[in-house]
Amino acid sequence: MKVLSKSSEYGLRALLYMVGKRGGEQEYVSIREMSEQLDISFHFLTKILQSLTQSNILASYRGPSGGVAFNIPPEKIMLSDVVRVLEGEDFFDTCLLGLPGCGEKKPCPMHQFWKEIKAALKHEFETTTLAQMGQITLDSRLRLMP
């Protein structure tokens, strides 16, 4: 079950890495460093983070000791903000059977069932911050939602 594209997987992993590095003084985190530490293609990661920069979640700086930094504190960045940029606006609004006309008016046989799952997923993504997720890395026994 692959829910996120590689772009989102890599993007989220990089953002969580950045959350982990905060507290240190370095404002900008090098994309090269992240690509090496996380074993992600440098050029591919660059492109992914570029789109997060263009949507103002990150800020970037070129030249020596440049890199990317949060443009918004990660306490205020929801997982949904990230996936909406990397996967598209309609991420939480798909039909399980891929039927274009499916919706409340014309539900497919999976609709009610899938709707509930999607709502739970959406709720989690919309109420969980990058900072919270990053925290789990440090304290991996934390449980998030009811």
Partner DNA sequence: CCTAATTAAGAGTATTTTATCTTAATTAAA
Partner DNA sequence: TTTAATTAAGATAAAATACTCTTAATTAGG
Q: Which residues bind DNA (CB under 7 A)?
A: 5-7, 10, 30-32, 41, 43-44, 46-47, 49-50, 53-54, 60-68
Site for a second copy in 46-105 (CB under 8 A): 87, 91-92, 94, 96-101
Which does residue 36 touch among a second copy, DNA, none (CB within 5 to 8 A, set by kind)? Answer: none
Q: Helix or strand or coil: residue 22? A: strand
Q: Are 42 and 35 in contact (CB under 8 A)?
A: yes
- Specify the residue, 66 or 78, whose C-beta has the smaller distance to a second copy: 78
What is the token pair recorded at 66? 């440049």
**Distance between CA atoms of residues 80 and 126, nearest Å:** 5
**Beta carbons within 8 Å of 47's beta carbon, 6+ residues apart:** none
**Contacting a second copy within 7-46 (CB under 8 A):** 9, 12-13, 16
CA distances for 102 relative to 40, 90, 97, 112, 120, angstroms: 37, 13, 9, 11, 19
Structure token pair of residue 116: 């509930």
Selection from a second copy, DNA, none that 131 binds (CB < 5 to 8 A by kind) is: none
Work out what residue 120 binds among DNA, a second copy, none; the CB cut-off runs from 5 to 8 Å by kind. a second copy
145 binds a second copy (CB under 8 A): yes
Q: How far is the CB of 63 from a second copy (least distance, A)?
A: 31
Task: Name the minimum Å distance from CB 56 to a second copy.
Answer: 23
